[in-house]
A and B are shown apart, each in its own frame.
Chain A
């Protein structure tokens, strides 16, 4: 099936078999390997992406369902500079082995877009669908907390 979608601001037109997962379309046809597969059943969140602004697991979605959708993957989070969430993951060492990091970054961005100043508990809630086996989540939460205050400062300056 022929579908059109927009990935990280780039228009794509691809021919996909009906059973192909959006995850595979992104990793293969779009050559965006930042989105990872950890379980293939929506449990780990390593494949988290934004579909029309909504946090989703790319492994659970048939590619054909993305017809006309606007998709953001980890590769689309940074602009000219890194996104504050990315900067803070580096500063607080919110990444160790890094395999969950792309999904975590996308989930954090999604959270801060709807809740610019989340509490630590709200951050825990927001990333509960993203498993990390390295960090104990402590430094990930620290990173998202400071990214939130950075974004707020930026917003108040603007």
Chain B
């Protein structure tokens, strides 16, 4: 068997997806299913006085649920990090889309009609709608000071570093919301069970989050909750935690109605109500030597959490850890806050705090280079992190530091110097000919920690099982889901690589909490790097179990290339013989359970926020080429080159797909995607007015995979899911600056903002 790892094995779900056979949540048809809907607040902050169901309306066939229907033995919370978010508001309203009443009916038209007969009387209260208002705390909406989470990172002595600096440069950068805009909206189907339990099917990333949330909500044991993932039409973090809320709602309706209930959000409800990327304002103060050496950095980073905690403390943590960028800074002081506002809670979106700070950190580098007259590439090269250097948490980078390799590779592949010279020549010619077009080239360097922070993975102990199958193959059991990124394909590749089996003999168990163990959530660029490693080790454990069962106490090794158990150089028995024999022994059925084992040398101080923040980092470098029309301020992407160090590409085409998709989301973040909020309401919650890139907005994306292996990843692999999201915004911003001379300090940098920046600068 050829080693499948490193090959472009076709997606195992490819055929079902190109023929339309793949069944997503809205495609599942269960008889007697009711449609569910959510009635939400219409004010950003207030107090519920009463909920009334119009007594003159005929409620036959309609199931109504509000907070009073949550069982006594349960709790009105959506369990996540903190239990601050109610499943259904009972008293206090903290944002415009707070769910209050749920309705279900077989007939969608009757359902819609009934929704007009629910009266929710709310006393409006003064609200807090921005980071600035929250910081001022004239109105306090959460805790004592509106701060939902705070975090400090300190390294060295910043005051001494600043005193020693020849130059100190300051800058402020801000980023706005970004909507995940998966093309399939959120949807959940809940089925009541006779034992009082509940079965959930849904579009989701993390079945065990829902499994946990429903136990708390309903006050029932885990054995009474079953969560099954349907084929999921994109997530990008947006289906990490929010499906728990919809599952709570569908479960309450289904239990009360005694029938299956399906809640499918339409686009408007999905964009307005569900989580988005956190806006942030970041202030940088940087001390440098005259030769461009970074000596100190002070960063204040304030994020907008929205109304509830959700995953915000972890977003803050990941953001701050990457806030100094991929550079060596001996003295660092970072202060970060998550501020509460009366806007829909923000949550996970690919990158998880890092795209925000990388935009700021890289623009900071560009502005420093411009002010000090340094070449921005040489300036970066002078300060970039290498093996043996320390990050802002004083983590010593021990291995797999591919930043410089990515930088060299992308500069070489795009012929950067030539590209820049041609671009300058284009602009000179355009100027002399009176053309309105200007071009620019921009660079960015970025990195992204893989897996959970610090000892998170050790604590979590993600588990994977592998069993021998009847037909002499292997079956992988994991709670890690495929949301498009290719888990269903790469896990079998890893196991097949270890076992020497053909891909057809390695299958994945259905993503069903009754069948698969908790491998940890499908988040944090951890699926391939962390859970994939457990798959690899589970395959090794299976081999050991097989040796024990058939080896008659002898020392055997396994040679995957021969598909045989070896005694020294001799074949003891083949895989096929062994698996057949095992079926006749008490060792059958054979299933191994394997948990993650981290690197024992990882040291992390959670209190001081110091030490090994992540097991390893992935690295990347982007070059963006843009063309700007100086009459209309239209910004057109001409090309984007990216080199990304993923350790090892288990399936290179799938890795390229991750990089290209993440890169285009990053381009959208930079110049197109603008969510408008007014008085706590989302104004543009449709695809017609929240604009994501089409094929005409997308440039040709040139991807160069760099492989600097990581010792504790499967075959050396590291995370790639989030990394490509981090680099495009600053590279595009730098390109726009070169083309137009505008200082780009905020994104999305739309034509309107470009026009404003240029007129402010010329004033």
Contacts and interface: CB of A to CB of B under 8 A. Distances in A.
B213 to A, nearest CB: 23
Interface stretch (B59-67, B182-190, B402-410): B182-190
Given A96-B486, A134-B657, A90 B694 contact: no
Contact of A33 (B15, B27, B236): B27
B687 A43 contact: yes
Most buried by B among A32, A74, A93: A93
Contacts of B665: 133
B183 A138 contact: no
A133 B653 contact: no
A90 B695 contact: no
Interface string A27-55: 10000111111111101101000000000
Interface string B384-400: 00000000000000000
B52 interface: no
Contacts, number: 167
A56 interface: no
Interface residues of A, number: 54
B283 interface: no
Contacts of B656: 93, 138-139
B629 to A, nearest CB: 18
Contacts of B42: none
B330 interface: no
The interface centre, meaning the residue of B17, B483, B653 with most chain A CB atoms within 10 A of its CB, is: B17
A133 B22 contact: no
Nearest to A120: B700
Contact of A40 (B16, B21, B235, B266): B266
A134 B234 contact: yes
**Chief secondary structure at chain B's binding surface:** loop
B484 interface: yes
Contact of B696 (A38, A40, A98, A124): A124
A99 B203 CA distance: 11
User: At the interface, is chain A mostly helix, strand, loop or mixed?
Assistant: loop
A139 B484 CA distance: 14
Interface in A94-148: 95-102, 105, 120, 123-125, 127-141
B185 to A, nearest CB: 7
Contacts of A38: 183-185, 267, 687
Nearest to A98: B17
Contacts of B8: 93
A43 B657 contact: no
A60 interface: no
Contact of A95 (B14, B236, B692): B14
Given A82-B19, A86-B18, A136 B234 contact: no
Interface in A5-28: 27
B19 A34 contact: yes
A67 to B, nearest CB: 23
Interface residues of B, number: 56
B18 A137 contact: no
Contact of A90 (B15, B234, B692): B15
B183 A102 contact: no
Contacts of B233: 36, 97-99
A84 to B, nearest CB: 11
B686 A37 contact: no
Contact of A97 (B21, B27, B182, B686): B182
A98 B688 CA distance: 22
B692 A131 contact: yes
28 contacts: A32-B20, A36-B183, A36-B184, A39-B267, A40-B266, A41-B687, A74-B20, A75-B19, A82-B19, A86-B18, A90-B11, A90-B15, A93-B8, A93-B11, A93-B14, A93-B656, A96-B486, A96-B661, A97-B483, A101-B17, A125-B696, A127-B695, A128-B696, A134-B234, A136-B660, A136-B701, A138-B656, A138-B698
Given A93-B11, A134-B484, 16 more contacts: A33-B24, A34-B20, A39-B687, A40-B266, A82-B18, A86-B18, A86-B19, A91-B10, A96-B657, A98-B484, A99-B24, A128-B696, A133-B692, A136-B660, A136-B698, A138-B698
